[in-house]
């Protein structure tokens, strides 16, 4: 089957869908013709203390200013909790499935509301006020959702740091936003192993004087030191707190959270999302893209440390009154059939995961999947990286028994929620394509000079106008926001991705066109890995590029020049891999390190990454022009010593 094959909507399966092809077209037309009217109505999906009268006030020009629903007043935790109590207080809000298949729990909306209120009172009692930053460094436990919503309830801005990040990565993220409080756990559990969260946090906090209080969840019970006056047990504080808590009235444009993400240069930047537009977007897209129907069980396998966990484990599903499944573990523990076992156990209707997981499970064959019925499944989703047609078809055929539409959802931390995706039952599918924009989203392709490309074309993916879920700024650095997203193609939001559009107007995301890698769906800047490497005393220079990787999508290929007098060795290679893991976290471990006595540079000293990428990908017969290099002989040397 070529990638142009079409899998048409199956009308018998689309029955009962909220949106069919005609309704989708109608929505897209209305959103384009009358954005104010369209978004005024959609804003009604969340709970407002004061509904907005001013809807859209955005400009991609000059200083770039993005405001949605700006005179509205709300609290995100009310939309996720209080608004459901009357109708579905006893419905399960969160199903928690532990790393250990014998441990799970269920929390109703009423219970979740109470737990959030208690923790919100705790935060207030520790002096946390509206606008203060609170960092969360937590495993995938219910307390993570409680902590997020408790911050939202008191108007604090949460910044979640993925539990797989190192103490250094944690401290730089705390320092950047001056958090006054950290919420962590004794340890996390993943794939049968423990993650030393509190120990990492203690190390990080040595360089974070802004943090005055640490709340520690007793999760595994593994003993951890508690610092008198600074560290408090979650359960002790929350048991003592009142079970009711007045939500802080927030303006729609008050910040809800910061989430650090990697770019092509410098340190990770604090992507800032605000309250009103983000909540509308999370709710709108969760309902449309997954065709979410009341009473259904929805499972997104992401971690709350990434944006997917924010929008599609917590805020979107809870705003929509869904039952959201939170999974502590990994897809291959204790066996490679874990996902399907969980699907059957909890009767999951909607399953949302990453291509890297699908590829890994595909390698194990069909038997572990077929062992389970998966009869409850209705919609399957994919996110985080391009999905190759083979993996798409396996997901469709083997996991979904050709019964479940696949929604390949394209979006980014910056976009707050999904922008390009099929809607189940409304859009014909093509394996490997994210298909069409959602109503209200205006993607376009431009060439290197910023000229708009028409019809079938290949180019840089930009968005022409704002949507409610868009990030508002880089925390404390609006100039960087403008520079990063609006200066390459002035007046347009530049995603950093390349894409192809076919004759049917379908988008095929081809991957990043900047120096950002996507390793197993995790986004990483080459510059970050390079600076970790050169921080090692034996490294003089390093250049990092992506290389094709069967499972991870992209692997990390590092060229390392040692300081004079140092000799390459297997021991040093291992030491450098361990060093990067310690500096950034295990997700940044280089897959290959090539010793490079010299790097290909232009006469002005700029490293020609294009050449390094070609060598890493073993495409050395198409290196292109190397005549502008200061010393073309280094290329021969690098080709001769390619790793792998």
Nearest to 47 by CA among 88, 85, 89, 75: 75
442-459 burial, b at 16+ Cβ within 10 Å, e below that, comes to bbbbbeeeeeeeeeeeeb
In the complex, least distance from residue 157 CB atom to ligand PRX, rounded to whole angstroms: 19
Which residue of 232, 523, 552, 601 would you call a contact of ligand PRX, by CB under 6 A?
523
Establish if 509 lies at the interface with ligand PRX (CB under 6 A).
yes
Known binding residue 603? Answer is no
Known binding residue 4? Answer is no
**Candidate ranges 53-61, 101-109, 407-415, 440-448; the one touching ligand PRX (CB under 6 A):** 407-415
Are 473 and 65 contacting, i.e. CB atoms less than 8 angstroms apart?
Answer: no
Size of the site for ligand PRX (CB under 6 A): 22
Residue 218's Cβ-count burial label (10 Å; 0-12, 13-18, 19+) is: middle
Closest to ligand PRX by CB, 108 vs 311, is 311
Known binding residue 202? Answer is no
Backbone angles phi, psi at 189, to 5 degrees: -130, 135
Known binding residue 520? Answer is yes
Let me know how long the chain is.
Answer: 644
Closest to ligand PRX by CB, 39 vs 392, is 392
602: β partners: 629
Strands of the sheet with 297-300, listed across from one edge: 104-108, 92-97, 323-327, 297-300, 350-353, 379-383, 406-409
User: CA angle at residue 497 from 140 to 585, to 5 degrees?
Assistant: 35
Closest to ligand PRX by CB, 553 vs 590, is 553
**Candidate ranges 1-9, 164-172, 504-512, 635-643; the one touching ligand PRX (CB under 6 A):** 504-512
Print the binding letters for residues 336-375 with ligand PRX: x by CB under 6 A, - otherwise.
Answer: ----------------------------------------
In the complex, least distance from residue 142 CB atom to ligand PRX, rounded to whole angstroms: 23
**Positions 419 through 438 that interact with ligand PRX (CB under 6 A):** 434
Rounded Cα distance between 312 and 456, Å, is 32
Establish if 308 lies at the interface with ligand PRX (CB under 6 A).
yes
β-bridge pairing 133-137 and 516-519:
unpaired
In the complex, least distance from residue 434 CB atom to ligand PRX, rounded to whole angstroms: 5
Establish if 301 lies at the interface with ligand PRX (CB under 6 A).
no
Print the binding letters for residues 238-267 with ligand PRX: x by CB under 6 A, - otherwise.
Answer: -----------------------x------
Rounded Cα distance between 311 and 326, Å, is 13
Known binding residue 308? Answer is yes
In the complex, least distance from residue 354 CB atom to ligand PRX, rounded to whole angstroms: 8
Q: Strand ranges (DSSP E) for 38-116?
A: 56-59, 65-68, 73-74, 92-97, 104-108
β-bridge pairing 231-233 and 250-251:
unpaired
In the complex, least distance from residue 528 CB atom to ligand PRX, rounded to whole angstroms: 14
Helix or strand or coil: residue 570? helix
Strands of the sheet with 231-233, listed across from one edge: 231-233, 213-217, 181-185, 133-137, 157-160, 255-261, 269-274, 473-474
In the complex, least distance from residue 462 CB atom to ligand PRX, rounded to whole angstroms: 12
In the complex, least distance from residue 417 CB atom to ligand PRX, rounded to whole angstroms: 9
Closest to ligand PRX by CB, 156 vs 272, is 272
Are 112 and 106 contacting, i.e. CB atoms less than 8 angstroms apart?
Answer: no
In the complex, least distance from residue 353 CB atom to ligand PRX, rounded to whole angstroms: 12
Is the sign of the CA dihedral 619, 621, 623, 629 positive or negative?
positive
Which residue of 248, 497, 583, 591 would you call a contact of ligand PRX, by CB under 6 A?
497
Q: Strand ranges (DSSP E) for 476-515?
A: 493-501, 507-512
Establish if 410 lies at the interface with ligand PRX (CB under 6 A).
yes
Closest to ligand PRX by CB, 74 vs 361, is 361
Closest to ligand PRX by CB, 417 vs 439, is 417
In the complex, least distance from residue 25 CB atom to ligand PRX, rounded to whole angstroms: 22
DSSP letter string over 143-158?
Answer: HHHHHHHHHHHHT-EE
Residue 303's Cβ-count burial label (10 Å; 0-12, 13-18, 19+) is: buried
Q: Which residue's CB atom is positioned nearest to ligand PRX? A: 413
N- to C-terminal Cα separation, the chain = 31
Known binding residue 518? Answer is no
Known binding residue 569? Answer is no
In the complex, least distance from residue 362 CB atom to ligand PRX, rounded to whole angstroms: 17
Nearest to 183 by CA among 226, 220, 134: 134
Helix or strand or coil: residue 48? coil
Known binding residue 523? Answer is yes
Which residue of 263, 384, 424, 468 would you call a contact of ligand PRX, by CB under 6 A?
384
Known binding residue 210? Answer is no
Closest to ligand PRX by CB, 112 vs 547, is 547
**Candidate ranges 21-29, 73-81, 192-200, 403-411; the one touching ligand PRX (CB under 6 A):** 403-411
Are 428 and 6 contacting, i.e. CB atoms less than 8 angstroms apart?
Answer: yes
**Candidate ranges 183-191, 202-210, 408-416, 527-535; the one touching ligand PRX (CB under 6 A):** 408-416
Instruction: Say which residues have a Cβ less than 8 Å from residue 533's Cβ, sequence separation at least 6.
Output: 539, 542, 544, 558, 560, 576, 579, 580
Which residue of 121, 301, 413, 526 would you call a contact of ligand PRX, by CB under 6 A?
413
Known binding residue 410? Answer is yes
Closest to ligand PRX by CB, 52 vs 263, is 263
User: CA angle at residue 188 from 186 to 192, to 5 degrees?
Assistant: 135
Establish if 520 lies at the interface with ligand PRX (CB under 6 A).
no
Nearest to 184 by CA among 221, 218, 146: 218
395: β partners: none
**Positions 434 through 493 that interact with ligand PRX (CB under 6 A):** 434
* Annotated binding-site members for Mg(2+): 534, 536, 539
* Annotated binding-site members for ATP: 384-386, 408-413, 497, 512, 523
* Annotated binding-site members: 190-193, 308, 332, 384-386, 408-413, 497, 512, 520, 523, 534, 536, 539, 581
**Residues in contact with ligand PRX by the rule CB under 6 A:** 261, 307-308, 383-386, 408-413, 434, 495-497, 509, 511-512, 518, 523
* Annotated binding-site members for CoA: 190-193, 308, 332, 520, 581
């Amino acid at each position: 089957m070529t990638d142009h094959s079409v899998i048409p909507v199956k009308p018998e399966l689309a029955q009962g869908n909220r949106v069919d092809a005609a309704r989708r077209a109608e929505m897209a037309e209305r959103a384009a013709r009358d954005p104010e009217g369209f978004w005024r109505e959609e804003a009604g999906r969340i709970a407002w203390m004061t509904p907005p009268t001013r809807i859209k006030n955005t400009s991609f020009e000059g200083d770039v200013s993005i405001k949605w629903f700006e005179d509205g007043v709300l609290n995100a935790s009310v939309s996720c909790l209080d608004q459901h109590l009357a109708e579905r207080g006893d419905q399960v809000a969160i199903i928690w499935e532990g790393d250990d298949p014998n441990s799970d729990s269920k929390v109703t909306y009423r219970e979740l509301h109470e737990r959030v209120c208690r923790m919100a009172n705790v935060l207030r009692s520790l002096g946390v006020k509206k606008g203060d930053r609170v960092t969360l460094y937590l495993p995938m436990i219910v307390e993570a959702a409680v902590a997020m919503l408790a911050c939202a309830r008191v108007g604090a801005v949460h910044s979640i740091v993925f539990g797989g990040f190192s103490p250094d990565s944690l401290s730089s993220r705390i320092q950047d936003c001056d958090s006054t409080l950290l919420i962590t756990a004794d340890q996390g559990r993943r794939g049968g192993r423990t993650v030393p969260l509190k120990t990492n946090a203690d190390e990080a906090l040595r360089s974070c004087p802004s943090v005055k209080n640490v709340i520690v969840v007793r999760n595994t019970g593994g003993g951890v030191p508690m610092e008198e006056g600074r560290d408090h047990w979650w359960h002790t504080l929350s048991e003592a707190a009142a079970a009711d808590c007045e939500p802080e009235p927030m303006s729609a444009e008050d910040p809800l959270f910061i989430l650090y993400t990697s770019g092509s240069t410098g340190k990770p930047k604090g992507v800032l999302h605000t309250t009103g537009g983000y909540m509308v977007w999370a709710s709108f897209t969760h309902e449309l893209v997954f065709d979410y129907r009341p009473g259904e069980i929805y499972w997104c396998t992401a971690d709350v440390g990434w944006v997917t966990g924010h929008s599609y484990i917590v805020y979107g599903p809870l705003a929509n009154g869904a039952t959201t499944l939170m999974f502590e573990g990994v897809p291959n523990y204790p066996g490679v059939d874990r996902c399907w076992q969980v699907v059957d156990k909890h009767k999951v209707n909607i399953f949302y995961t990453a291509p890297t997981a699908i590829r890994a499970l595909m390698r194990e064959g069909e038997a572990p999947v077929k062992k389970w019925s998966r009869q409850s499944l209705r919609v399957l989703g994919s996110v985080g990286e391009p999905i190759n047609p083979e993996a798409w078809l396996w997901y469709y055929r083997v996991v979904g028994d050709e019964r479940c539409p696949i929604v390949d959802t394209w979006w980014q931390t910056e976009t707050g929620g999904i922008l390009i995706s099929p809607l189940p039952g409304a859009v014909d599918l093509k394996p490997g394509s994210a298909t069409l924009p959602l109503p209200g989203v205006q993607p376009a392709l431009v060439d290197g000079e910023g000229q708009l490309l028409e019809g079938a074309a290949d180019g840089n993916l930009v968005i022409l106008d704002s949507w409610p879920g868009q990030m508002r700024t880089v925390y404390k650095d609006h100039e960087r926001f403008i520079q990063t997203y609006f200066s390459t193609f002035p007046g347009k939001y530049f995603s950093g991705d390349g894409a192809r559009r076919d004759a049917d107007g379908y988008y095929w995301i081809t991957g990043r066109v900047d120096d950002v890698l996507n390793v197993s769906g995790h986004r990483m800047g080459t510059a970050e890995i390079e600076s970790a490497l050169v921080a090692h005393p034996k490294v003089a220079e390093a250049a990092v590029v992506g290389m094709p990787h069967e499972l991870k999508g992209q692997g990390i290929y590092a060229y390392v020049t040692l300081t004079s007098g140092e000799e390459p060795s297997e021991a040093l290679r291992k030491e450098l891999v361990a060093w990067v893991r310690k500096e950034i976290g295990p997700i940044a471990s280089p897959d290959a390190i090539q010793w490079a006595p010299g790097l290909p540079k232009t006469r002005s000293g700029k490293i020609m990454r294009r050449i390094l990428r070609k060598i890493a990908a073993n495409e050395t017969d198409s290196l292109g022009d190397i005549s502008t290099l200061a010393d073309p002989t280094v290329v021969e040397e690098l080709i001769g010593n390619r790793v792998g």
